Chain A
Amino acid sequence: MSPHGEHPSFLALDSLKWGRGTDEVRTHVAGCAACAAHLQTVERPVEVPAWARGLKQERPWGWLFGGGRLAWGGGLAAAMAVLLVVVLAPRPPAPLPSEDVPKPYVGPKGEPVVVVHVRHGEHVSRWDGTQPLLPGDRVRLEVAASGYSRVLVGSPTPDGGFVTLYTGALPEGGALLPASWQVDAEGSGEHLVVVLSRAALAPEVLRRVLAERGGPDVWVTDLRLPKQTAP
């Protein structure tokens, strides 16, 4: 039992399902409404949301490049080469069925794709490229890219500097980045910069890449997300 009186630890409770618990824990749960309620909560079947289904086995976010041929016209594909922002749900958020795993779309082969996911309340949708965000919304990025092993997300600062918000390895094919950012009420928009590279960038290299908005084996794009701060 834990040092907190009569209850076992939540770790012990959470491990019961896999037969790890002791007789003492099982006996306690049989007579404890609070612990039984916890187990009911965590064992109740839940709907698997789109973001989880989208992970897929072995190939996270592999649907991004399904098909193998360009679905966009050549001219359009060229125009979208820098950034492909997918339009989905307007605000107010669409009902749950719209949160199914998004239909596959195809980007120009070899060109990175950045998708902006916005969570408003309990609903997650893709940013449509124009819809203002609201304070409290959360933004999360999904990056699909072949040949780039590192991703960095940052934001310019008012004094002309740059703050790195996230940096990490990028699996082959891409990933939903684990970090998310909350929209505050300051200013008229959020500015994120996504940098993809084949190796981690030294600070001086990053400065040059940002100044030149690119470089050898580096891909850079800007995301400017307007926000609505007044009702």
Chain B
Amino acid sequence: MPERRGRAALTVEEAYQAYFPRIREKCRRMMQNTGDAEDVAQETFVRLWQAGLQDAPPRRVVGWVYRTSTRLAIDRMRRRRAAAEFSCEETLLRLATAVPLEREVAQREALARLVGQLPADELEAVFLHRLDRLTQPELAEVLQISERTVRRLLSRFEERLEKLREGVA
């Protein structure tokens, strides 16, 4: 990883080494299809480079990467027909009742199925919270919204799950 060199601009190779592995891992956490994950990671890096962000403070770049790749991944998953093949209730139920051992995989699969059925802002927050483990202050920073809005988005999602848990019990 290259260290920052004052105001010197990063070369594309340095930027790639610094950011792409992190982008790719982030995309793999979100997407079941490795080809899709690779595509979204590539698209995110291309956008980062074309926007000239590689020379911005790393804190800002990493936040931008999390925000942008999440949105791109949701867009891509929304275009997939499979997303519409499961009912919202069925998918939420699986998420609500997953046992700990399978929770990580279940969450990714279930969230992927919800992309066409829940509001985008709620999905972004839930993806970042559940798959990337972002805290509420981190979510607020990455999504550029208030912590109050973060809490509202996450609460709305948890309420959906809670209703389903109550129905099962």
A18 touches B59 (CB 8 A): yes
Task: For the complex formed, measure the closest distance between the CB of A154 and the CB atoms of chain B, giving whole angstroms.
Answer: 15
Give every chain B residue within 8 A of A11 (Cβ-Cβ). Answer: 62-63, 66, 132-134, 138, 142
A17→B61 CA distance, assembly (Å) = 13
Task: For the complex formed, measure the closest distance between the CB of A227 and the CB atoms of chain B, giving whole angstroms.
Answer: 17
A41 touches B11 (CB 8 A): no
Q: B residues 132-149 with Cβ under 8 Å of A? A: 132-135, 138, 142
Give every chain A residue within 8 A of B22 (Cβ-Cβ). Answer: 14, 42
A45 touches B17 (CB 8 A): yes
Task: Tell whether B89 is near chain A: CB-to-CB under 8 Å.
Answer: no
A197→B29 CA distance, assembly (Å) = 38
Q: Map CB proximity to A onto B1-25 as digits: 1 under 8 Å, 0 otherwise.
A: 1000000010111001110111001
Q: Map CB proximity to B onto A39-61 as digits: 1 under 8 Å, 0 otherwise.
A: 00111111010011101110010
Task: Tell whether A98 is near chain B: CB-to-CB under 8 Å.
Answer: no
Q: Map CB proximity to A onto B79-108 as digits: 1 under 8 Å, 0 otherwise.
A: 000000000000000000000000000000
A44 touches B21 (CB 8 A): yes
Q: Is the interface of A mostly helix, strand, loop or mixed?
A: mixed
Q: Map CB proximity to A onto B40-56 as digits: 1 under 8 Å, 0 otherwise.
A: 00110111011000000
Task: Tell whether B113 is near chain A: CB-to-CB under 8 Å.
Answer: no
Task: For the complex formed, measure the closest distance between the CB of B33 and the CB atoms of chain A, giving whole angstroms.
Answer: 9
Give every chain A residue within 8 A of B1 (Cβ-Cβ). Answer: 17, 43
Q: Is the interface of B mostly helix, strand, loop or mixed?
A: helix
B29 touches A10 (CB 8 A): yes
Q: A residues 1-37 with Cβ under 8 Å of B? A: 1-4, 7-12, 14-15, 17-18, 20
A10 touches B21 (CB 8 A): no
Give every chain B residue within 8 A of A180 (Cβ-Cβ). Answer: 39, 43
A4→B132 CA distance, assembly (Å) = 10
A40→B34 CA distance, assembly (Å) = 20
Give every chain B residue within 8 A of A12 (Cβ-Cβ). Answer: 138
Give every chain A residue within 8 A of B66 (Cβ-Cβ). Answer: 11
Task: For the complex formed, measure the closest distance between the CB of A231 and the CB atoms of chain B, giving whole angstroms.
Answer: 20
Interface size bracket, B side: 35 or more
Task: Tell whether B167 is near chain A: CB-to-CB under 8 Å.
Answer: no
A109→B118 CA distance, assembly (Å) = 49
Most chain B Cβ neighbours within 10 Å, of A38, A55, A119: A55
Instruction: Report which of B18, B50, B63, B135 forms a contact with A3, defined as CB distance below 8 A.
Output: B135
A12→B138 CA distance, assembly (Å) = 9
Task: Tell whether A175 is near chain B: CB-to-CB under 8 Å.
Answer: yes
Instruction: Report which of A42, A55, A178 forms a contact with B12, defined as CB distance below 8 A.
Output: A55
**Chain A, Cβ-Cβ closest to B18:** A17
A60 touches B49 (CB 8 A): yes
A48 touches B35 (CB 8 A): no
A residues within 8 Å of B by Cβ? 1-4, 7-12, 14-15, 17-18, 20, 38, 41-46, 48, 51-53, 55-57, 60, 119, 136, 138, 171, 175-176, 178-180, 182
6 contacts between A and B (CB under 8 A): A10-B25, A10-B133, A11-B138, A51-B42, A56-B12, A180-B43
B residues within 8 Å of A by Cβ? 1, 9, 11-13, 16-18, 20-22, 25-26, 29, 35, 39, 42-43, 45-47, 49-50, 58-59, 62-63, 66, 129-130, 132-135, 138, 142
